[in-house]
Amino acid sequence: MIMDHNFIESEKLDISEAQSNCLDTKSTGIDVEDNGHGEDCKSTGIHFFPPLYAKRYHLAVETLTKYDIKSVIDFGCAECHFVKHLSSVPCLEAIALVDINKELLVSKQKTIAPELRHFIFKRKNPLHVSLLAGSAEETDSRVSHFEGVTMIELIEHLYPDVLQKVTHNVFGNIKPRLCLVTTPNSEFNVLFKNADPNKFRHWDHKFEWNQTEFKSWCEEICRRYNYIVEYTGVGLLPDKETHHLGYCSQAAVFCLNHQRVFSQSLSNEHFSLCYELIAEADYPFEKETCSLNERIDLEVKYCVQYLASSLRKENSGNDEGPVALQISRILNFPNIKSFCDEDAVRESLHRCEYQISDDQLIVYVPEEENDENDGHTEEEQCVAHQVCQDYEMHLESWD
């Protein structure tokens, strides 16, 4: 991750000396930075596969998906590798990659563009990615409303005064609904078997916290900014004798405590355009081609046929005569229930020219035609098939 310009200016660091004071992690075979090696190590027998950086990205993707985050800022994006994973998060609609190193971002700007796979397997919803040069100490009005923030292996590169400003900006100004922070766990360093276990893993690290120190920082954030936190991490060895050392990379998932926060968030007008836009990209997605009523009619008709076919099979395959079906059963389909009420279903049944009982509770499904898919395009059939799959999964979830 890239360091912030304030602490670059505040102290001229002798790189060669700093490098000599960091852990010799190459000899251990443990991937502690985003190098992607993760080789086997004969001296320690420690091997992470997938590499630790990939595990961190996977944790972030899982967390953003779990909390249905629509927009996320990745502070300290560096070479922008994370965007390849973020673009697979189905709920995301906006990604802002922010780093202080403008020169690096310019050299990596093509990384954010969609790849061939994104055109072949299109997303279900739009996704806009922006690459921004700026400091995590400041909030740009273009991202001040974003729901999520990730800081992956970033905070350990910051001096205490800069970390304090970044912390306040993220939790006090942006106030994301969710924030994921990962950082090295210093207690794990003894497994590297270096002569001095107090050495840092990377020459630019300003600190490496143990589990207690990290939790103390997290709890202060929760107390001051009204968040709740859950602790996790990546890189836990299978040997139970080392479990007390914790994860190689410890993590905290902060969630905004909505019960205690009311109208403290600042409006976008409070912030300025303080980041420089380096590049932006829009990812291809499947656009809706039919109207809402047409989609309702399509899904209702297939749900009716699916239920009628199931009832006929239960009745020993008797295909003669109409099937009486309770309209309320159609609402058991998750895709129908998500955007339809019972009245809308009845209106759709009328549009599809089904016969409905006088009390409006029963629909009569006529004898099945030879081909249920007659008159429907391949795209429409795929949509309907997905509806039935969702319904079956819904039933299985109650088993």
Residue-by-residue pLDDT tens, the chain, 399 positions: 444 433 333 333 343 444 445 554 444 444 444 443 333 344 455 678 889 999 999 999 999 999 999 999 999 999 999 999 999 999 999 999 999 999 999 999 999 999 989 998 999 899 999 999 999 999 999 999 999 999 999 999 999 999 999 999 999 999 999 999 999 999 998 888 766 767 888 889 999 999 999 999 999 999 999 999 999 999 988 888 888 999 999 999 999 997 544 444 445 557 889 999 999 999 999 876 778 888 888 889 888 988 888 888 877 655 567 889 899 898 888 878 777 888 999 999 999 989 999 999 999 988 764 334 444 444 444 444 454 444 444 444 444
Nearest to 246 by CA among 286, 214, 279: 214
DSSP assignment of 101-116, as one string?
-HHHHHHTGGGGS--H
Query: Model-level pTM?
Result: 0.66
- The superfamily CATH assigns to domain 52-262+270-283 is Vaccinia Virus protein VP39 (3.40.50.150)
Chain centroid offset of residue 201 CA: 28
Half-sphere exposure of 274 (CA within 13 A, CB side): 18
Query: With contact defined as beta carbons under 8 Å apart, do 162 and 137 qualify?
Result: yes
Nearest to 391 by CA among 331, 317, 334: 334
Question: What distance in Å separates the CA atoms of residue 251 and residue 185, rounded to the nearest whole number?
Answer: 9
- Alpha helix stretches (DSSP H) within the chain: 5-10, 15-20, 52-66, 83-86, 102-107, 116-120, 160-168, 211-225, 292-314, 334-337, 342-351, 378-396
Q: Please, what is the end-to-end C-alpha distance for the chain in angstroms?
A: 46
Question: What distance in Å separates the CA atoms of residue 57 and residue 88, rounded to the nearest whole number?
Answer: 11
Question: What distance in Å separates the CA atoms of residue 19 and residue 392, rounded to the nearest whole number?
Answer: 58
Q: Please tell me the predicted confidence (pLDDT) of residue 322.
A: 85
Query: With contact defined as beta carbons under 8 Å apart, do 234 and 59 qualify?
Result: yes
Residue that has been written with the tokens 């001095």 in this structure: 196
Which amino acid makes up residue 343? D
